[in-house]
Structure 1
């Protein structure tokens, strides 16, 4: 398959495809005598796995490790443990985002506290976390 085929089948652009090569997500393809890149069929599987793993929150570095684990044939427990660690990381991020939202809502509430006149006063730029109720 040539670059255009990979792009068409995966939805990636050329730059991302080259970036994945540079990062070792996919191997550098052989070239035809005319200089075109010639990708193996397994590249599609690696790209699709990468896109799915990115959607699950894995970084490219983590994805590269997952691909290496997949190729080495590790047992499912190892994969499950990695996924559980990612779930815990996502839970922590969600908690952090909820806290961020509370602080922002408190800031907006303080601004709107006195209605229209409150919005016209000098901005207090206060993100006093102590005032935020959890």
Structure 2
């Protein structure tokens, strides 16, 4: 499929798909027999990779982390330990953010309480 169809199937813009390709996260292939254009074709593997990218971004992975996940998942022979470590590190990072946001919320609630009681 061409990039336009890939964009429609994944919901990503053509610009975003090209950006991920420039980062080496996906790869399109040109038809060597056709010399009149440089159109790239993408297979279903690229859709799978893009779906992983979308989901990983939604849970907070950076593009650098996602690239490591993709490499471990698709290119390494023994990817389970490396991938597991990446996911555990992200869980720890999320736990730290939750703790921070709980503390921030508590402080804001105290300020709100003082404002309501005209203590400020």
TM-score normalised over the length of structure 2: 0.81
Provide the residue aligned with 1:99 in structure 2.
103
Provide the residue aligned with 1:2 in structure 2.
2
- What's the secondary structure of 1:78's corresponding residue? helix
Gaps of 5+ in 2: none
Moved over 4 A (4+): none
2:51 pairs, out of 48, 51, 55, with 48
Gaps of 5+ in 1: 119-123, 125-134
Q: Structure 1 residues 13, 109: CA separation in 2 closer, same or farther (over 3 Å shift)? A: same
Shift of 1:5: 1.1
Task: Spell out the pairing of 1:19-34 with structure 2 (5 A cutoff).
Answer: 19-30=19-30, 33-34=36-37
Shift of 1:82: 2.0
Shift of 1:43: 1.0
Instruction: Name the Cα RMSD after superposition.
Output: 2.1
Residue 15 in structure 1 maps to residue 15 in structure 2: yes
TM-score normalised over the length of structure 1: 0.74
CA–CA separation in structure 2 for the residues paired with 1:41 and 1:104: 48
